[in-house]
Structure 1
């Protein structure tokens, strides 16, 4: 059996974005929400569908319901760029996406039925008529995507990401503190072509803050000075759970801070979930950690929360001597459920 004749090579790399602190100004930009999911290029030729991650690895095995859904779309061929997301109880769940990367096919099939994934579309690289659009400006690609999404009409499964040319609207998205399923804004040049593998877009993340208890610390590698602070929040049972770390400590304050922390050493540090082995974000950090009396509070900036933990390291903003440790609860990082804000195709 000969391989399907896709309109673009499966090795096609998605266009990427460079990070920025603020949205670009001036005309000629299209702004879109930045989705917290798995980036995905979807290829179709006849009854064959392929899903490719940003790394180029195939994703179809892990999301059979998406492959089946795209295979059922009446268009015979196309290539689209989007994001795979899973919604649970009104929230987009990155945990649920990671659970799909499982070796057992039976487990994947079970999850695909219980928590089906959606594909949020935001660019079109090739149309059902066989037109390859990578050399066309975004304004033309988006028009083609709008038409495709309307014709495909897979309600609640194939979604069209909203967009705007108004910077003030995009700024409002960044200021939105509800759990909208997005973690920032992506700005794309309206009159640029699709530069595969290049950082032609601009991404600005929505960063949030939380007051956390310093429940422990780790020494820096090969040093007796503090390397990172271990952060905690009180759960509904009144126990202090470990939720992440911050290592953004200036060298000027490291010695004095180490002395202060060593004076507060007292087990258990965390009365709920405690730190385990080395952090998954760093391999050179010691496994050992020092428990502290739950007295110190810091305000940190974070981006994502996964399984009640900060997915990445946080940035220390300031100490909060005015804040009682017991005020540092999970309510800060658990916003109320909200509908995923997309246009349904």
Structure 2
């Protein structure tokens, strides 16, 4: 492979802002695996955000890239899996599997798509120094003949349209809007763009915590919600505390410490139990050999957290602690409080809504 931009390249990133800024190019924010795709003739390399290769996990995308992308190019985009008319991150995550036979089977059962939203090189030319508006024009020309599973990400310069996308596209599994300054060159591994994500709040039971990597202080709080049968389900964690606050929390929660045997999640160490309930400590291909142990707390306290969206019955990302809720009782913290997003067909998103 001999391209003007060679792997590995870390993609340009976005910083979070509260509102859609004016005067930019706007795109939907895709919920998948960020990927840089390098093509030099028949040779195709797909790299992850961290630079690790993804090609072997998505064999169905290799012939699609050869069919839809220019003979020599570097494309920035997102690998996604659609199921039931919306993005499905859980099914996408299952595609990362060590067994070749399993990879091939899942490529047939849950095929992936590539959504292209930037271009770093074409032919013998590096486009890194080109302004965003000009790169978009090159990208549109390069993908003018693309066909599924390769898609050109819809884009607009109208903030009113971007706001409509922000409100409507979440129902198809997307999680916000990305704003790109029109004069912005491509800046690898730099938060030079802006992302506007959905944020909601929920009152959750604090039923445990994990230690921070630095020592015996709180790393993250384990959150629970009661389902319709009155069973406390583990829905995620909240973190991002200062070191001083981590020390304070460890002391504050000490009186609530209890044995795992007396806890609603007592079966957490049993692998089979995870098939029937949401429990902390599940091993996965992502956690590897990471220590998943946790400190059990009596589920007596409630906190309010901010979250962006749900993935099935759990928080898709780490939630943010907002405040304690001494006025709420743990049994009142149920799934019923969560806002239900109106479903929206992913095909409408890919066509620009």
Q: Same fold (TM over 0.5)?
A: yes
1:76-126 Cα shifts (integer Å, max 9, x gaps): 333221110011223322222222221211110100100010111111233
Q: Report what 2:17 is aligned to.
A: 21
Superposition deviation, residue 255 in structure 1: 8.0
Q: Report what 1:205 is aligned to.
A: 197
1:209-228 Cα shifts (integer Å, max 9, x gaps): 222223345677866x8765
What SS does structure 2 have at the residue aligned with 1:79? Answer: strand
Q: Report what 2:269 is aligned to.
A: none
> What is the distance in 2 between the residues matched to 1:322 and 1:138?
50
> What is the distance in 2 between the residues matched to 1:123 and 1:227?
36
What SS does structure 1 have at the residue aligned with 2:96? Answer: coil
Aligned residue among 253, 271, 279 for 1:274: 279
> Do residues 239 (structure 1) and 221 (structure 2) align?
no
What SS does structure 2 have at the residue aligned with 1:11? Answer: coil
TM-score with structure 2 setting the length: 0.77
After TM superposition, the structure 1 = structure 2 runs for residues 125-274 of structure 1, keeping only pairs within 5 Å, are 125-127=120-122, 131-152=125-146, 154-155=147-148, 157-175=149-167, 178-217=170-209, 228-247=220-239, 248=241, 250=245, 254=249, 257-258=252-253, 261=256, 267-270=262-265, 272-274=277-279
> Do residues 83 (structure 1) and 64 (structure 2) align?
no
1:123-174 Cα shifts (integer Å, max 9, x gaps): 12334x655433322212112222333322x13x122222222334434544
| Residues 214 and 49 (structure 1), Cα distance of their counterparts in 2 relative to 1, 3 Å cut | same
- Structure 1 regions of 5+ residues with no counterpart? none
Aligned residue among 291, 301, 314 for 1:309: 314
| Residues 196 and 260 (structure 1), Cα distance of their counterparts in 2 relative to 1, 3 Å cut | closer
1:194-216 Cα shifts (integer Å, max 9, x gaps): 23343332233333322222334
> What is the distance in 2 between the residues matched to 1:270 and 1:143?
53
1:210-264 Cα shifts (integer Å, max 9, x gaps): 22223345677866x876542111234431111223344947974884377469x
Contact 1:44 1:79 in 2 (8 A): yes
What SS does structure 2 have at the residue aligned with 1:233? Answer: strand
Superposition deviation, residue 324 in structure 1: 4.9
More helix by share: 2
Q: Report what 1:10 is aligned to.
A: 6
Question: What RMSD over aligned residues (CA atoms) do the two structures have, in Å?
Answer: 3.8
- Structure 2 regions of 5+ residues with no counterpart? 267-276
Structure 1 residue ranges, 4+ long, deviating more than 6 angstroms after superposition: 219-222, 277-281, 283-286
> Do residues 122 (structure 1) and 117 (structure 2) align?
yes
Superposition deviation, residue 267 in structure 1: 2.9
Q: Report what 2:351 is aligned to.
A: 343
Mean CA deviation greater in 302-311 or 61-70: 302-311
Contact 1:14 1:81 in 2 (8 A): no
Contact 1:10 1:52 in 2 (8 A): no
Count of residue pairs the alignment pairs up: 333
Contact 1:12 1:196 in 2 (8 A): no
> What is the distance in 2 between the residues matched to 1:284 and 1:98?
18
| Residues 219 and 158 (structure 1), Cα distance of their counterparts in 2 relative to 1, 3 Å cut | closer
| Residues 198 and 252 (structure 1), Cα distance of their counterparts in 2 relative to 1, 3 Å cut | closer
